[in-house]
Amino acid sequence: MKAYLSPARRDRLDWIAQLAATTWRLFSKNELLNHAAAVSLYFLLSTAPLVLLLLYATRLVEQWAEGSVVGTILLAALHEQFHLDALRGFGLLPAKARLAASGIGILALLIASRGLVNALQSAFRVIFPAEARRRFVVSWISPLLIVPLAFMLVALSVAAREIVEFLAQPSLIGAWRADILRIASGLVGLLMVWGLVFLAYWRLPLRRPPLRPTFAISLLATLSIYGLGWAFGHFVEAKQYRALYGSLGGVVFVLIGVYLVSIAFFAWAQCLHAVTQVDVAALARLFPGSEAPNGSRLEKLAFARDHRLFEKYGQTLPAGSVLLREGDTGESSYYLHSGRVALYKGGIDGKRLGQIEQGELFGEMAYLLKEPRTATVVAETDITVLALPPQILEELMRYSAPLSRRIVGSLCQRLKLMNQATGD
């Protein structure tokens, strides 16, 4: 099969395998299963007062439906979409509720929604590490508004979609029109969930992820959530939990479903961050002694090939080529994969400061010190180098502490050579 793959397609498959391996390693390292459990608990606490408010809304719609056709349609849609009879059967909805409890329900909703958003933000701080902090006012007020607004939008969308499906009966508008209306209704619901997931992936991280991967991965996350919801609803029966846990069976059923959805949500969020880490993880393995995480056998297999890196960053130059000139501006660093280069002070005809062997990094001083190039670098043999942009160098230093120490040590050695050349 490999013989039929073009190099570009093989590199793309390598990137996908490395992305999956990096996602799994970061997901396990960040213990996102625990974060998913916390989000599930706060979601359940947020849902309880919302269910109570839904019951109040149903009471009002029942009164309206007594003399209104539209009210009757809306009431039927509420019962069918939100499964109100099933919720009452599970014990999640009381048979009667007093309006006086609504104030407590709203207060509980605000408190629980703050806990839910804080749990989400805590998970995203781990998934998307950043040194910045949110403003105090934003961190306190936004959690009180986000969850109620999100639930309200979802409820309105679900109710509107159910009304459309109720009206899309073949006997009323014809079979093909009814099918088109149902498909359009389903797409609108999918787009709304996709929009919510995209906003979460785009706004919750303190360091914004790239826009295009955010669009694609938020869509994959939405499809995964829909798939989980379908599988959970078709292969897991709530009555089994009722038989096992009694009146709490419905709560356990919902909690497990939300937990699985939270895991998928965080897994795709981790994948989004891993998009920016795949090249870093692969490059770190090129540095001898960098002690980059080896991971499992599957991860070693995923990073076995480095052809993709050389296609993206690599350069092959003959002996005598000048890579860097003293005084030039530029912030790219270079990893010498093979060959040998020499350092000169005062140009090619100036003083020879030393040489750099394969497996070493050079050119990083210009970026780290924010100064022009301090030496001229000339290839003494045929060489292969990888040109690394400044952001890649930053990520490499964050990725591996030993590698960061090695870069700093190399920088100190070069400064020592510069000082000796100046002294002479």
Give domain status of residue 2, yes or no: no
H/E element, 344: strand 340-345
At residue 92, the pLDDT reads 46
Answer yes or no: do 219 and 362 share one domain: no
Where are the extended beta strands (E) located within 235-332?
Answer: 314-317, 322-324
Question: Which range scores top for mean pLDDT: 98-102, 229-233, 317-321?
Answer: 317-321
Longest Cα–Cα distance of the chain, Å, equals 100
Listed residues 276, 295, 329: the one ending a domain: 276
Instruction: Say if residue 346 is in the same domain as residue 269.
Output: no
Average pLDDT over residues 14-28: 92
Mean pLDDT comparison of 51-65, 158-172, 291-305, 334-348, highest-scoring range: 334-348
**Cα separation, 62 vs 131, whole angstroms:** 52
Q: What pLDDT is stored for residue 110 in this prediction?
A: 67
Q: Would you say residue 298 has pLDDT above 80? A: no
pLDDT (0 to 100) of residue 379? 93
Domain total in the chain = 2
Residue 288 lies in a domain: no
Mean pLDDT lowest among 134-138, 195-199, 211-215, 372-376: 134-138
> How far apart are alpha carbons 337 and 286 in whole angstroms?
8
Q: Which of 1-15, 51-65, 290-304 has the lowest mean pLDDT?
A: 51-65
Distance CA 342, CA 344 (A): 7
Q: In this predicted model, which residue has the larger pLDDT, 146 or 138? A: 146
The pLDDT value recorded for residue 263 is 94
DSSP state of 205: S
Residues 157 and 262 placed together within one structural domain of the fold: yes
DSSP summary character for residue 133:
-
379 and 251 in a single domain? The answer is: no
Residue 99 has pLDDT above 90, yes or no: no
Say which DSSP state 341 is in.
E
pLDDT in tens, 56-80: 666 665 665 565 655 555 555 555 5
Give the range of the structural domain holding residue 128, as residue numbers without chain letter. 31-276
What is the structure's pLDDT at 97? Answer: 47
What is the per-residue pLDDT for 160?
64
Give the pLDDT band of residue 384 (cuts 50, 70, 90): very high
Q: How far apart are CA 244 and CA 65, in angstroms?
A: 38
What is the rounded distance in angstroms from the CA atom of residue 161 to the CA atom of residue 409? 62
Same domain, yes or no, for 200 and 52? Answer: yes
Report how far apart, in Å, the C-alpha atoms of 400 and of each of 283, 287, 352, 405 are: 11, 11, 32, 9
Torsion 75-78-84-85 (CA) sign: positive
**pLDDT value, residue 33:** 92
* Nearest residue to 109 (alpha-carbon basis) of 20, 172, 44: 44
Q: How far apart are CA 246 and CA 254, in angstroms?
A: 14
Least confident of 18-27, 71-80, 109-118, 227-236: 71-80
Confidence tier at 1 by pLDDT (50, 70, 90)? very low
- Residue 62 is predicted with a pLDDT of 60
> From CA 375, how far away is CA 358, in angstroms rounded?
18
Go through the chain and tell me how many residues it has.
424
Is 4 among the domain residues? no
Point out the domain boundary residue: 257, 276, 295. 276
Residues 353 and 232 in one domain: no
Nearest 5°: the CA angle 325, 327, 330 is 75
For the chain, percent of residues with pLDDT exceeding 70? 63
Task: Tell me how far apart the alpha carbons of residues 364 and 335 are, in angstroms, rounded to a whole number.
Answer: 10
Q: Among 225, 258, 276, identify where a domain stops.
A: 276
CATH of the domain at 345: 2.60.120.10
Do 181 and 118 fall into the same domain? yes
Mean pLDDT of 78-85: 54
Task: State yes or no: pLDDT of 344 exceeds 80.
Answer: yes
What is the pLDDT at residue 404?
Answer: 81
Does the pTM exceed 0.85?
no
How far apart, in whole angstroms, are the C-alpha atoms of residue 254 and residue 261?
A: 11
Decide if 291 is inside a domain. Answer: no
Percent of the chain with pLDDT over 90: 22
In this prediction, residue 180 carries a pLDDT of 72
Per-residue pLDDT, 258: 86
pLDDT for 219 equals 95
Q: What pLDDT does residue 98 have?
A: 47
Identify whether residues 209 and 334 lie together within a single domain: no
Residue with tokens 């280069």: 341
Q: Identify the band that residue 203 occupies on the pLDDT scale cut at 50, 70 and 90.
A: confident
| Amino acid 221: pLDDT | 95
pLDDT averaged over every residue in the chain: 76
Residues 164 and 67 in one domain: yes
